[in-house]
Structure 1
Amino acid sequence: MKRKVVVPLILLVVFTSFILFFIPMKEAFTFTEQRTEDPEMYYIPLKSDRGFQIRYVHSIHLTDVFENYEVTVDHKIKLLSMQYENLAIGLPGSAEEEGESFSFKDGVYTLTYDDKVIDSFVLFIGDVDAELAFRYLGNEINLKQQLERGKSYAFRVTKLSYYQMLKGGNLNGNKETAAR
Structure 2
Amino acid sequence: MRKLAVSAAAAGLVACFLFLPVIDAFTFTEVRAEKPAVHYIPIRGDEEFVIRYTHSIHLSDVLESYTVTKDRKIRLVKMEYEDLAIGLPGHAEAGETFTDRNGKYTLEYEDRVLDAFVLYVADIDTDLEFRHAGRRYDLKQKLERGKSYRFEAEKLSLFDLMKGMNMNGR
Pair in the same fold by TM > 0.5: yes
Task: Quote the offset at 1:88 in angstroms.
Answer: 2.6
1:67 alignment partner AA: E
| Alignment check: 8 A CA contact 1:28 1:159 kept | yes
1:39 alignment partner AA: P
Unaligned runs of 5+ in 2: none
- Aligned counterpart, 1:113: 109
Q: Percent identity?
A: 50
- Aligned counterpart, 1:159: 155
Query: Following superposition, which runs of at least 4 residues in structure 1 exceed 4 angstroms of deviation?
Result: 4-11
- Aligned counterpart, 1:177: none
Q: Per-residue CA shift, 1:108-127, capped at 9, x if unaligned? A: 10000000101000001111
- Aligned counterpart, 1:20: 17
- Aligned counterpart, 1:90: 87
1:132 matched to 2:115? The reply is no
SS of the counterpart of 1:173? coil
Aligned with residue 60 of structure 2, among 44, 59, 63: 63
Unaligned runs of 5+ in 1: 175-180
SS of the counterpart of 2:168? helix
Q: If the length of structure 1 is used for normalisation, what is the TM-score? A: 0.89
How many angstroms apart in 1 are the aligned matches of 2:12 and 2:74?
35
How many pairs were matched up? 170
- Aligned counterpart, 1:178: none
Question: Higher Cα Rg: structure 1 or 2?
Answer: 1
Task: Quote the offset at 1:7 in angstroms.
Answer: 6.8
Q: If the length of structure 2 is used for normalisation, what is the TM-score? A: 0.94
How many angstroms apart in 2 are the aligned matches of 1:59 and 1:150?
14
Cα RMSD between the aligned structures?
A: 1.6
- Aligned counterpart, 2:72: 75
Q: Per-residue CA shift, 1:70-129, capped at 9, x if unaligned? A: 00011100000000111131101110x211010011331000000010100000111111
| Alignment check: 8 A CA contact 1:122 1:152 kept | yes
SS of the counterpart of 2:10? helix
